[in-house]
Structure 1
Amino acid sequence: MIEKSGLFRVGDIFLLANKIRVNTLDGFTWFANINGLSSIQKQNWIILLDGQRLGLNTFNNVNINMLPINITQIDSVEIISVPQIYNGIFTNYGLIHIHTKSISNGKAMTFFQSAGNETGDPGPYIYTKYKSPNVEIVGSGTSIVLDMNTN
């Protein structure tokens, strides 16, 4: 379902979840609140990737797009939206567990490329009549997954 949904980045999975309230300014950095358990400004939820806890929380900001996977590699996503103990981890502010597709015994290579542009940045003109609004534009992207099974 995830691959066929037309999602482009890992952070776009927030758009499919009904228990997560999200806010984004640029379409890349998402501020998420799982079931109202913490404020948008302080993101204390936990990310697991195939059962391994990831430390993506930097300055109370979790950028899920920094995960070392591509959206095409995701098989399923579990969202824990109530405080509980999940596999020995207390999830007081929620948890997102991402399961990836199984890899063959052969060699696999993934390539992902995207482009972005910041237009209208007022820069030194912010206090003059030439100032303009700051608009972030996320361009197109390309994803290639090559799996060479040796069996």
Structure 2
Amino acid sequence: MNFKDAGLPPGEKVDFEQFDVFGIMGLPWQWDLSPDWSARVRLYGSAGVIRGARDLGFITTVTPGLAATNKSWNLTFDIAAGGALISDWEYGRQDVGGPFQFIGHLGVTYHLPWNLAVGYRFHHMSDAMIYGKSRGTDLHMIEFSYYFEGL
């Protein structure tokens, strides 16, 4: 998302879209912080496509992270950082560097009935300048999910 309409200079030279399938696996480390709050270490993974300036590329990510859930609010807040591999790193006028990217994301998920959930995620991707001077991307993502286990 560029902030051109708000009068702010855009962080990206092109607008990006990402569509993917993701999985989240709870790891064995978890803590009950109070009767309503719990925390758990998770492993996030995804595979999909990233599109910018009519260019299309494959992306896959793996990010370990931490999630905090409030059962009475039906909400989970999470943060994670890890890596991604992309098949194309030039999208129109924007070069994101190379095939390996660092990923960071913050998210919130609302748990619906029937093991369904809807969420929002701020997703940052950057090569941290390991391939030279290049720009990363910031994405605002909406997610729809089904979970196989209770909160």
TM-score under structure 2 length normalisation: 0.26
Q: Which protein shows a greater Rg?
A: 1
Of structures 1 and 2, the one with the larger relative CO (CA 8 A, separation 6+) is 1
Q: Which has more strand, going by share of residues?
A: 2
Q: Which has more helix, going by share of residues?
A: 1
